[in-house]
Amino acid sequence: MKALVTGAAGFVGSTLSERLIAQGWEVVGVDAFSDYYAPALKRENLRNLARNPRFTLVEADLMEVDLTPLLASTNVIFHQAGQPGVRKSWGTDFAQYTRANIQVTQKLLEAAKASPNLQRFVYASSSSVYGDAESYPTSESLRPAPMSPYGVTKLAAEHLCTLYAKNYDVPTTSLRYFTVYGPRQRPDMAFTRFLHAANTGGTISIYGDGEQIRDFTYIDDIVEANVRAATMPTPNGAVMNVCGGSSVSVNQVLQTIEQITQRSLNVEYHDTVPGDVRRTGGDNSLIANLLEWSPETSVAAGLAHQWEWVRASSTTGRI
């Protein structure tokens, strides 16, 4: 099997690519190494992959690269690339989000229509499409209502996947990720910030009262869902939640970190920011039925793994 992984140098993309290589796949990774966070960290993510002859890196902007030769022998597209960040998506930065999240997805889907060997197009969507959901646990049948421009672009790209599935039989599956964490998590994301502060004695900034609830999902569980979505039969255009089933508050996370690290945390609370929702919590019933997937890693166990990664990365200067 041959896969094209977009955003291959990122948190999910690099971890997924390693899993595929370990299972005998051939992987072509595409990444533009944008400066949303340090490109050096992304290159570090690829350090092991770069040594493997079954991994090929294409350093390019997806809006500019010729996709036809890349997809000629591709069996599965894992579309992980995109412009992340709820808070940065307001104002003039929105143009980056429409380009990276909507236009790139549409270009890939157009190319996928003519890809002769394509068996599955797996799109990385987000729980941000729900906004403040109507009920919890939130199922895919509920009306999406994003509260941030970022969420709007992820939903638009997801709708494009469904449209191309219905109109052109492109075999798309969209996975709505709920707050992914674990080793290689981006430096701007909460758990990396919290654990780095625990390691260095720095201050943790919390936007809100800390009682906001999130459904945290460990990276290995996300990768497993992607592999199953690529290799198991699903209806074209399917949309599925991928969530850890945790639904714990940020304050509870901080308490768990203190227990794991055996260190007291310096926490400062600030006003909430536009676009942040009060709660997320997904219903996994659909993906359990279609792909026989369920999360295997608890928040405590996942945080322990991420803590070891943060300590090791700090020692070598990688974060």
Pick from 39, 30, 79, 109: nearest CA to 318: 39
Q: Which residue has the higher pLDDT, 123 or 245?
A: 123
* pLDDT tens-place string over residues 301-314: 999 999 999 999 98
Cα 164 from chain centroid (whole Å):
22
pLDDT band at 149 (very low <50, low <70, confident <90, very high): very high
The answer on pLDDT for 171 being more than 90 is yes
pLDDT of residue 318: 64
The answer on pLDDT for 87 being more than 90 is no
pLDDT band at 316 (very low <50, low <70, confident <90, very high): low
Question: From the candidates 150, 164, 177, 181, which is the catalytic residue?
Answer: 150
The answer on pLDDT for 72 being more than 70 is yes
The share of the chain scoring above pLDDT 90, in percent, equals 93
Pick from 211, 208, 212: nearest CA to 269: 208
Q: What is the mean pLDDT of residues 204-208?
A: 95
User: In this structure, are residues 95 and 149 in contact, taking their beta carbons and an 8 Å threshold?
Assistant: no
* pLDDT tens-place string over residues 236-263: 999 999 999 988 999 999 999 999 999 9
Q: Provide the whole-model pTM.
A: 0.96
Q: What is the mean pLDDT of residues 64-75?
A: 96
Mapped onto helix, strand or coil, the DSSP state of residue 141 is coil
pLDDT of residue 314: 80
pLDDT of residue 209: 96
Query: Which segments of 189-318 does DSSP mark as H helices, in order?
Result: 190-200, 219-231, 250-261, 285-291, 299-316
* Annotated catalytic residue 150: yes
pLDDT of residue 24: 98
The chain-wide mean pLDDT, for the chain, equals 96
Q: What is the mean pLDDT of residues 7-30?
A: 98
pLDDT of residue 273: 85
User: Could you give all domains of the chain from N- to C-terminal order, each with its CATH number?
Assistant: 2-180+218-244+281-295 (3.40.50.720)
pLDDT band at 319 (very low <50, low <70, confident <90, very high): low
User: In this structure, are residues 142 and 135 in contact, taking their beta carbons and an 8 Å threshold?
Assistant: yes
